[in-house]
Every structure is written in structure tokens, then in C-alpha cells.
Amino acid sequence: AQSVTQLDSHVSVSEGTPVLLRCNYSSSYSPSLFWYVQHPNKGLQLLLKYTSAATLVKGINGFEAEFKKSETSFHLTKPSAHMSDAAEYFCVVSDQGAQKLVFGQGTRLTINP
Amino acid sequence: GAGVSQSPSNKVTEKGKDVELRCDPISGHTALYWYRQRLGQGLEFLIYFQGNSAPDKSGLPSDRFSAERTGESVSTLTIQRTQQEDSAVYLCASSLVKPNTQYFGPGTRLTVL
């Protein structure tokens, strides 16, 4: 069975400093992995996805994530935080070819001026 | 083109009443999904439709929940005899079969008094 663990429920960083949101997954097969962002009172937006191509995946708004099979991790990073990055971030897994997404509990990112 | 739309955006109802939530997927997307997001939590899968195949109902929490889809178009999620624990945001997503990246609607916030 698939599962996702987001290791931090809340991360707070200063504007201009790096962001790291941690995610570990469990999957029986080759997984597809995603990061979604949810701004207050807005819908979920896809940031990036990994589907067995390059292990370093670049997404929108300067975010990227690295798939590390040996560590079963898919951490999300950004070199320099911006105030507009404040939102809830979800790490998501699905088995290759499967349709169901399994969501982590979310990490709330706060950006301090 | 237009994204996934959902209606109503907010619904307040009394315990015991039935409610219907509507989802209009992106045109051409054959797959449609319903999820539930309780306050401060990640998304829970409810049901998945793919073309004319039998829907995957494995996530529906009780027989009070049902969903229908008209061809490859609109879907309606019905909750009968609502309970206070049904209060949540109900999100709809749609996708192509391949790639199966899911695009989410803005959600319907259901409050059961």
C-alpha cells in the first residue's frame, strides 16, 4: 500500500532564505510522485511531478524536488523564499499506472519578512 | 482553456438533509475524481470514474455517499442524511488517461449544522 509522510507540519523561514519541505513515501511499485500547493481559499495547483525520468525535477516558481529511491524521499526545495510562497504544500504518491493519489498531511509554509 | 469547476462554492445544511455537489471537468478529460479534505488534513480519495468503466468506489466512507457521472462530462456527488462529520471541503479533479496528472477544482465547502 502506498503512503506518504510529510515530516514537518509547519515550516517557517525568512524571505530570501532556502526552503526545504521533507517528504518520505512508501510504495510497492515504481511510484509517481507529486508536489501540490494550496494557497488560502484557492484550489490545488501542481508544482512538479516525478514519473521515472530524471531524478531531479524542476517545477514552477523556482521549486525543485529530488527523487532518492535509496532514501524513499522526495524533498521539495527552493533556493530563496518569496512572500508569495506562503501556502500549504502536499506531497502525493501514486503507483505507476494507478489513478488514485495518496496525499500527505500537508506542510504549512510561513515566510517571515 | 477552462479549468475544473465546482458548484456550489459553499453549502450550509442541517443535519439529516441530503446535499448534491457538482463537478464540471476539463473538456476532453476522461477521468474524474472526488476527494474530501477535512480541516487541517490532506485529501482523502472518495471515488474515481474512467470513461464507461465501472467506477472505483473504494474510498466512499459509507453508503450515504454516492456519485454519478454523465458520460465523460458532469459528475454529481450526493450525501444523504448528512452528519456533522461530513463537514469538509469536497474537491473534484480530472485528468487524461495518459499523462494522468490530475487538475483540481476550487472545491465545495460543506458545513453541516
Which DSSP string corresponds to chain B?
A: ----EEE-SEEEE-TT--EEEEEEPPTT--EEEEEEE-TTS-EEEEEEEETTSPPB-TT--STTEEEEE-TTS-EEEEE-S--GGG-EEEEEEEE-SSS---EE---EEEEE-
- In this predicted model, what pLDDT tens digit does every residue of A21-48 receive, in sequence order? 999 999 877 788 999 999 887 788 999 9
State whether residue B91 sits within 8 Å of chain A by CB: yes
| A42 or A111, greater pLDDT | A111
Whether residues A42 and B31 touch (CB distance < 8 A) is answered with no
- Rounded to whole angstroms, the Cα distance separating A70 from B15 reads 49
State whether residue B41 sits within 8 Å of chain A by CB: yes
> Taking 80 as the threshold, does the pLDDT of residue B3 lie above it?
yes
Pick from B33, B42, B103: CB nearest A105: B42
pLDDT at A97: 61
Rounded to the nearest integer, the mean pLDDT of chain B is 92
State whether residue B50 sits within 8 Å of chain A by CB: yes
> Taking 60 as the threshold, does the pLDDT of residue B1 lie above it?
no
% chain B with pLDDT above 90: 73
> Taking 70 as the threshold, does the pLDDT of residue A98 lie above it?
no
pLDDT at A96: 62
Rounded to the nearest integer, the mean pLDDT of chain A is 91
The pLDDT-based confidence of A72 (bands split at 50, 70, 90) is very high
The pLDDT-based confidence of B91 (bands split at 50, 70, 90) is very high
% chain A with pLDDT above 90: 71
State whether residue B103 sits within 8 Å of chain A by CB: yes
The pLDDT-based confidence of A20 (bands split at 50, 70, 90) is very high
> Taking 60 as the threshold, does the pLDDT of residue A88 lie above it?
yes
| B41 or B60, greater pLDDT | B60
pLDDT at B47: 94
> Taking 90 as the threshold, does the pLDDT of residue A113 lie above it?
yes
